[in-house]
Structure 1
Amino acid sequence: MRRENVEDGQASIYQSVITNTSKEMSCFSDFPMPEHFPNFLHNSKLLEYFRIFAKKFDLLKYIQFQTTVLSVKKHPDFSSSGQWEVVTESNGKEQRAVFDAIMVCSGHHILPHIPLESFPGIERFKGQYFHSRQYKHPEGFEGKHILVIGIGNSASDIAVELSKKAAQVFISTRHGSWVMGRISEDGYPWDVIFHTRFSSMFRNVLPRTIVKQMMDQQMNRWFSHENYGLEPQNKYLMKEPVVNDDLPSRILYGAIKVKSRVKELTETSAIFEDGTVEENIDIIVFATGYTFSFPFLEESFVKVEENMVSLYKCVFPPHLEKSTFACIGLIQPLGSIFPTVELQARWVTRVFKGEFGKSQSQILQTNYIDYLDELASEIGVKPHFLSFLLKDPKLAMKLYFGPCNSYQYRLVGPGQWEGARHAILTQKQRILKPLKTRALQESANFPVSFLLKILGLLAVVVAIFSRLQWF
């Protein structure tokens, strides 16, 4: 739960945090979020979903709250047993236990990264400075001149919120970033439109130059990033974009000003790389990310070099003799983290049970759907489009042209859920339910989008049969 005080060793969020991914793309694969929930959730609403989920599956009895893991070490006979010794502390008392396998799910938003050495003069600065992890709410920042360093989601959220109270907010960015809103075509959530197998297929098969041009046009459809000083230095690098509905408008009327990299700080001012100076800076917020940290592990287990972790398929340390240790969630997908970590966990538990070993399949793809499909293939839960096209065409259309959400990975194989098909076919209803607060007379417009899907489906079938002729 969100706390007012920032605690060491714990993740921290500010009061106004809202999810960047929609409810239909973020729920667990066998438990859709309640129909009346809004499409993007305030953090308190997401917590409510977790509590409903835990109650539904009676999970609380398996969770030890207020317990700190002090150390995780190999058992003396690890080479044969693969077991681990774990030392925990609760209410001042230490306990030791032996486990057959370990999953580290602590995430990577705990240890703040503030590269003070990159900001000459910070020791002379007389104002206040802190990491974005310390930020909770805008009260107390009234009338201040505030410099936010960074251009990620936290930096943008905090800058927008502070700009409603402060005299002036500046955002300093070295490389810029794409900025997109939560609302996409026809008012649907962005990820419902973006993450479809159909669009993913096009991004994978089209020449890279064309994909770059399409991405440039798509990202600049809302506003020109160049005009707003936000265009990424390497605009074709598939870096996670910022999702913020208000940042462009706050820039448009001057509440936020975008600046280049900070070159130097004085007692009261910031000197930027382009030679400009902003005087009377009261507060600096370092939204400069986090450092990977596993204080309970021996350094050799999970090696962190230059803030990078070497893991097989972003999960298993490759050098361990036994595959009984896994890291969950050490990945930054261009999409919701929840379906990603769920599939990671489903795969890992089957490896732990010895039902199959780690395959040496293709190199990990960076595409969100490719990664989900790769994990799903390892488990045997990836849906086969052609199979469904023959026996259930209606569902096949939803699988290929609709959002690729977690329900798709409950249709077949281990952990199959009988409600998966219904959840897929009714996802539009759950998206629109919280929006339909005013009754309107239904129009009888011809569904052009349906015709386009039919044409797209025919194109896919033709392509498949053309390829089969070569065999």
Structure 2
Amino acid sequence: MMCFPDFPYPDDYPNYMHHSKLQEYIRTFAQKKNLLRYIQFETLVSSIKKCPNFLVTGQWEVVSEKDGKEESAIFDAVMICSGHHVYPNLPIDSFPGLQQFQGHYLHSRDYKDPEAFKGKRVLVIGLGNSGSDIAVELSRLAAQVIISSRSGSWVMSRVWNDGYPWDMVYVTRFATFLRNALPSFVSDWLYVKKMNTWFKHENYGLMPLNGPLRKEPVFNDELPSRILCGTVSIKPSVKEFTETSAVFEDGTVFEAIDSIIFATGYGYAYPFLDDSIIKSRNHEVTLFKGIFPPKMEKPTLAVIGLVQSLGAAIPTADLQARWAAKVFAKSCTLPTTSEMMDDIDEKMGKKLKWFGQSQTLQTDYITYMDELCSFIGAKPNIPWLFLTDPQLALEVFFGPCSPYQFRLMGPGKWDGARNAILTQWDRTVKPTRTRAVSEAQRPQHFHNLLKMLSCPLLLLAVWLTFY
């Protein structure tokens, strides 16, 4: 689910791999695609500015530094691909009394090893993936670990139906169709019901304040068991700090704290670029489809990776870059500025409905990917597939929305995409079936459909939706 769309992972790789495996995969990809000769390593980009004749050429002057030497070069187009996990958000001013705290505090980015916290009393602020992972790891060595969460989170296991990875079961076109087609009260009810299948979140102090909102869940297989064993505790927001303790909003106090770890995310910034280019209105990110500045005189700058969805980053960035390259090459044309701004306003309204009042970068994965595919003529034609290749169509619609789907047709088509889709379940179980006791059983799409439709409320909702 996370590979480049025309470059599957080796089938002996684990489904959830160590970072060294991912690094090995990316290095192999770069070598196979002959990319290393284009990369200038250990080079800092300090400035990107429009050339004086930008209105005519659309060119950019890029100033970079390497080994203490500064160099300037002119480029016809620029892609900014530094993502949004670069600048740690350390909200010191948001916590009264933190300046007088006598212990040690750091951002989760600076956390490297649990050994330094052995026997310590640790407060982790933030209930995201990083905060949960750190708290679970520390709970084996620290004397006590408390997580402070402002709004709670849904916590999901990586292991889902029949032991398959969660995203292969959850991130499907059929599931997306149901979520978007059903009345919101039904899809919200189904969402909360599914999230509470593993354990009741309210019993563990994890229940989100705005339960049905599509906040990005936390993936952690161990956090509920660590809470159950008492090695991790969940508390509300910190009201204030003293020299040695934290006072929470509910009036309880965590005494004798040795360390505070702020798992409070990152801020996205592009210090080498005029801030008004990306935040062109009210200091909000205003990018068409999260990529193109809509008020740019020439469409020669694209931001890659400044979105976040319940889907993998690599295929998302791949598709963004494919579209940007076509725009740069003038084989794709962007809409007018007013049309792009209207689209941005519409998307902001949907985000407010789905995610609440926040500066989230979240978007619906499959809907977003299909939008990008439509611009370059690579969106999978599901009705046509059902007519011409029913076996493939069933897997594309009911099975996981794996990256190969976006290389089935159109520009950039990969001849191996069909086979990669039809064999994806076999490759998924290969690294886990090291002791084979029977034939591997693929998920039965129609069985899962019937199981979902066996719910009377869902049946009623489907009937109301279509009739």
Q: Same fold (TM over 0.5)?
A: yes
Spell out, residue by residue over 1:394-420, the C-alpha distance to the aligned partner (whole angstroms, 9 max, x if none): 111111011111100111110111001
Q: Partner residue of 2:327? A: 351
C-alpha distance in 1 between matches for 2:262 and 2:16: 26
One-letter code aligned to 1:390:
L
Are 1:427 and 2:424 counterparts?
A: yes
C-alpha distance in 1 between matches for 2:43 and 2:424: 38
C-alpha distance in 1 between matches for 2:126 and 2:222: 17
The 5 A counterparts of 1:396-407 are: 396-407=393-404
One-letter code aligned to 1:380:
G
C-alpha distance in 1 between matches for 2:225 and 2:156: 12
C-alpha distance in 2 between matches for 1:452 and 1:271: 47
Spell out, residue by residue over 1:91-143, the C-alpha distance to the aligned partner (whole angstroms, 9 max, x if none): 11111110000000011111111111211111111100011111011111110
One-letter code aligned to 2:290:
C
- The SS at the match of 2:117 is coil
Match of 2:247 among 259, 271, 274: 271
Spell out, residue by residue over 1:244-284, the C-alpha distance to the aligned partner (whole angstroms, 9 max, x if none): 11111111111001001000111111100000011111100
The 5 A counterparts of 1:46-125 are: 46-125=22-101
Q: Partner residue of 1:13? A: none
Spell out, residue by residue over 1:62-115, the C-alpha distance to the aligned partner (whole angstroms, 9 max, x if none): 100010001000011100100000011111111111000000001111111111
Q: Partner residue of 1:29? A: 5
- The SS at the match of 1:318 is coil
Are 1:293 and 2:290 counterparts?
A: no
One-letter code aligned to 1:319:
K
Q: Partner residue of 2:359? A: none
C-alpha distance in 2 between matches for 1:201 and 1:447: 19
Spell out, residue by residue over 1:426-460, the C-alpha distance to the aligned partner (whole angstroms, 9 max, x if none): 101110110110021338x9986445569999xxx
C-alpha distance in 1 between matches for 2:109 and 2:451: 49
Match of 1:379 among 358, 371, 376: 376
Per-residue deviation at 1:52? 1.1
C-alpha distance in 2 between matches for 1:29 and 1:101: 24
Match of 1:233 among 209, 217, 222: 209
Q: Partner residue of 1:144? A: 120
C-alpha distance in 2 between matches for 1:382 and 1:48: 30
C-alpha distance in 2 between matches for 1:348 and 1:338: 15
- The SS at the match of 2:74 is strand
CA contact (8 A) 1:181 1:244 kept: yes
Q: Partner residue of 2:137? A: 161
Stretch deviating more after TM superposition (238-247 or 110-119): 110-119
Match of 1:208 among 172, 184, 190: 184
Q: Partner residue of 1:22? A: none
Per-residue deviation at 1:310? 1.4
Per-residue deviation at 1:368? 1.1
Match of 1:439 among 417, 436, 440: 436
Structure 2, unaligned stretches of length 5 or more?
A: 351-362, 454-461
- The SS at the match of 2:188 is helix
Cα separation, partners in 2 of 1:375 and 1:246, compared to 1, 3 Å: same
C-alpha distance in 2 between matches for 1:197 and 1:251: 35
C-alpha distance in 2 between matches for 1:456 and 1:228: 27
Q: Partner residue of 1:7? A: none
Structure 1, unaligned stretches of length 5 or more?
A: 1-24, 458-462
C-alpha distance in 2 between matches for 1:157 and 1:456: 32
Spell out, residue by residue over 1:21-53, the C-alpha distance to the aligned partner (whole angstroms, 9 max, x if none): xxxx10001000000000011111110110111
One-letter code aligned to 1:429:
D
- The SS at the match of 1:326 is strand
The 5 A counterparts of 1:452-463 are: none
Cα separation, partners in 2 of 1:220 and 1:307, compared to 1, 3 Å: farther
CA contact (8 A) 2:425 2:442 kept: no
One-letter code aligned to 1:350:
K
CA contact (8 A) 1:179 1:241 kept: yes
Q: Partner residue of 1:12? A: none
Cα separation, partners in 2 of 1:447 and 1:345, compared to 1, 3 Å: closer
Identify, as 1 or 2, the structure richer in helix.
2
- The SS at the match of 2:26 is helix
- The SS at the match of 2:308 is coil
Give % identity: 55
The 5 A counterparts of 1:286-365 are: 286-303=262-279, 308-359=284-335, 360=339, 363-364=346-347
C-alpha distance in 1 between matches for 2:116 and 2:443: 52
Per-residue deviation at 1:305? 8.0
One-letter code aligned to 1:173:
S
C-alpha distance in 2 between matches for 1:32 and 1:446: 19
Are 1:393 and 2:390 counterparts?
A: yes
C-alpha distance in 1 between matches for 2:153 and 2:331: 43
